[in-house]
Structure 1
Amino acid sequence: MDWKLELVYVPVTDVDRAKDFYVNKVGFNADYDERPSDNIRFVQLTPPGSACSISMGEGLLDAPAGTGTNLQLVVDDIHAAHDQLKSNGVDVSDIEVLPWGHFVYFADPDGNKWSVQYIPWRNAGQDAGQGGAGAAP
């Protein structure tokens, strides 16, 4: 049996502001934005190339905005990711080089924290298990 993580909830205060940030600044695809009832709004956004999406909305959960904990994306080019975020107006950190990967960090308007990881040995064709691949900083 496969167990696939395909949706992560990101708690936000203003759904339209958050959707605009993730779609127009970070570059996620807007998959779904519907109101199945007057009290519920469900928005689903997916990073390009990802099998896992994020969701946000109204009437879905009681989690306080900004409590999304250390969400992580993995990219093939940390410099291109950094440049894209910065040029789109995201307050992104400088590139941090660590033994288990290269990282940049940012937060959405509600303070949900994200890291973007580049794993050099994956692109070099080495064993992906070296250096703690996929390990969070």
Structure 2
Amino acid sequence: MKAINEMTMKLELFVLPVSDVDRARAFYEKAGFRLDLAKDVTEDFRAVHLTPPGSEASILFGKGLTTAAPGSAQGLYLIVTDIEEARAELVGRGIAVSEVFHDDKGIFFHGHDGGEVVHDSPGQERLAGPHPERASYGSYATFSDPDGNGWVLQEITQRFPGR
């Protein structure tokens, strides 16, 4: 039962810091993101809005939108129902994606650079291939856009209760 005055919040949009708007747009369209808006308002203000396939949340980048350093966004998760299929789709589109991996303890994954995992967090050990039982939330692959903004594919086939 919903509590009285319970607020609903949905993450809808993430502003992504990029150095070259046209290069970023080409990359995300190549990756299969849907173009929702491309607007050149002034010479100093441009906006490109794209949405990953099947997502309710979108990304926005451009010129004059953020002071964050290009490539500084990390740990952006794209949830997929079949990690190997999603990886193959992106690779087929010309996107460099890490091999599929899992954590030996099934812990939330973080830490990569340029599409390749470069370190494990304390208590975390990466193992090659998808989770042996294909446990939901257990298999990952990573990729980065041309600026180094880091994305994580995560396989979820059954959500935790309440999600």
TM over 0.5: yes
2:69 to 64, 67, 71: 64
Cα-to-partner distance string for 1:56-100 (whole Å, 9 max, x where unaligned): 000111111000121010011111111011111211111112324
Report what 1:12 is aligned to.
18
Runs (4+) of structure 1 exceeding 4 A deviation are none
Q: d(CA) in 2 for partners of 1:10 and 1:60?
A: 9
* Greater share of residues in strand: 1
RMSD: 1.5
1:47 matched to 2:47: no
Structure 1 spans left out of the alignment, 5+ residues: 123-127
Which range is displaced more, 76-85 or 96-105? 96-105
1:95-106 equivalences under 5 Å are 95-98=100-103, 99=106, 100-106=137-143
* Structure 2 gap ranges (5+): 1-6, 107-136
Question: What is the number of residues matched between the two proteins?
Answer: 124
* 1:113 partner amino acid: G
Q: Which one-letter code corresponds to 1:105 in the other structure? A: T
- Write 1 or 2 for the structure with the bigger share of helix: 1
Deviation of 1:119 after TM superposition, in Å, equals 1.9
State the SS of the aligned residue for 1:21: helix
> Counterparts of 2:77 and 2:147 in 1: how far apart (Å)?
16
Q: TM-score, normalised by structure 2?
A: 0.72
Alpha-carbon separation, structure 1, partners of 2:43 and 2:91: 37
In structure 1, what is the Cα distance between the partners aligned to 2:17 and 2:148?
10
| One-letter amino acid of the structure 2 residue matched with residue 64 of structure 1 | A
